[in-house]
Structure 1
Amino acid sequence: MSSRWIRPEVYPLFAATGVAVGICAMQLVRNITSNPEVRVLKENRAAGILDNFEEGEKYKEHGLRKFVRKRNPEIMPSINKFFSDPN
Structure 2
Amino acid sequence: MAQVSWSKRWIRPEIFPLFAAIGGALGICGFAVARNIAINPDVRISKEDRTAGILDNYKEGKLYKDHGLREYLKHCKPEIMPAFNSYLSDSK
Structure 1 and Structure 2 fold alike (TM over 0.5): yes
Larger radius of gyration: 2
Residue 17, structure 1, aligned to residue 19, structure 2: no
Residue number in structure 2 paired with 1:85: 90
Q: 2:62 aligns with which of 49, 54, 57?
A: 57
Runs of 4 or more above 3 Å deviation: none
Q: Give the CA RMSD over aligned residues.
A: 1.4
Kindly tell me the number of residue pairs found equivalent between the two proteins: 87
Q: What is the alpha-carbon distance in structure 2 between the residues aligned to residue 84 and residue 68 of structure 1? A: 22
The percentage of aligned residue pairs carrying the same residue is 56
SS for the counterpart of 1:51 is coil
**TM value normalised by structure 1:** 0.88
1:36-58 deviation digits (Å, cap 9, x = unpaired): 11111111100111111111111
Structure 2: gaps of 5 or more residues: none
Q: What is the alpha-carbon distance in structure 2 between the residues aligned to residue 23 and residue 79 of structure 1? A: 30
**TM value normalised by structure 2:** 0.84
